[in-house]
Amino acid sequence: MAGLETRKVSQEARTAPVAWITLFGALIGVTALIPIFPYVGGGGYVPLLVPFAAIAPLLLGPSGGIAAAVVGGVIGMFLAPAGFPMGLLDVLLTGVLPAVYTASIAHLNKNRLLSYLLGVVSAAFAVLFPFYIPGASAGFQAPPEPLYQALSAIYWLPSLVVIFSPIGTRLIPSLVASEARPRKYAGIFIILLSALWLWFNPWAKPYWYIQHYVPAAGVATLIGYSWWVPALSAVVTAISVPVLEALSRSGLPKVRDGLW
């Protein structure tokens, strides 16, 4: 009986309908109008769009979620220029990358090479760019060490531990599939926290380069977001789990690789 039910669910699962992608993408775009954290040093703000884009792959599957994030990012760029100070580049960095990182970690077993690549690239941004590469050749001063690398490690080391260990390949799938709500909350939280930690590096560092940050500004930014990313992940988890549970009870056709 259980096997029959599994086959039935598998047969019913499909990619997210275009209408769902469009509607959720529009919702993502509208949330660009709502600031949730200012850029350290000014120049813009982090919009509510970021957490909505991050949870899109959990609801719509990887392809549907990333597509919705693209739609939302484009809409958000026009609705809220202050949240997209770099224009089209911010569509990628602010709108799309949160969904890409969430999708890669939520489905690590299906996309290991991509997840490894994204994690390593994010870590390289954290460690090297822009104070060491391009560094002095582009007029950047060396940051205070080992303080800078210690702070930078917050934004890549825990996530790489998740990606390259059984935490990502075994524990997360077990937690997310659990019927026990505390375990499900824990699984979704680990996914979102790991994804947003990694997202921060390729999202923030181009802005540092364009604004030609001094090391003190970089250190202040790392400190400023060190509590914000976990707090945001916890809030988004508290919102997303009830939504996932409601979708699972809704009777709607299941989206392939959606976590409901």
pLDDT at 111: 85
Query: Would you give per-residue pLDDT tens digits along the chain (260 residues)?
Result: 434 344 444 445 678 899 999 999 999 999 999 998 877 766 678 899 999 999 999 999 999 999 999 999 999 999 998 889 888 999 999 999 999 999 999 999 988 999 999 999 999 999 999 999 999 999 999 999 999 999 999 999 999 999 999 999 999 999 998 888 899 999 999 999 999 999 999 999 998 998 899 999 999 999 989 999 999 999 889 889 899 889 888 888 889 888 98
For residues 229 and 237, give the distance between their C-alpha atoms in angstroms, rounded to a whole number. Answer: 12
Q: What is the DSSP string of 184-245?
A: HHHHHHHHHHHHHHHHHHHHHHHHHHHHT--HHHHHHHHHHHHTHHHHHHHHHHHHHHHHHH
Tell me if 130 sits within 8 A of 209, measured CB to CB. yes
Tell me if 88 sits within 8 A of 51, measured CB to CB. no
Q: What is the largest CA-CA distance in the chain?
A: 67
Structural tokens at position 136 = 């002095």
pLDDT at 13: 61
Structural tokens at position 191 = 């996914």
Q: Residue 55: is it exposed, middle or buried by C-beta count within 10 angstroms (0-12/13-18/19+)?
A: buried
Spatial CA neighbour of 59 closest among 211, 239, 223: 239
pLDDT at 179: 85
Secondary structure of residue 49 in the 3-state scheme: helix
Structural tokens at position 187 = 């699984």
> Quick one: which H or E segment has residue 53?
helix 49-79
Each residue's pLDDT tens digit, 79-113 = 998 889 888 999 999 999 999 999 999 999 988 99
pLDDT at 5: 40
pLDDT at 37: 83
pLDDT at 12: 55
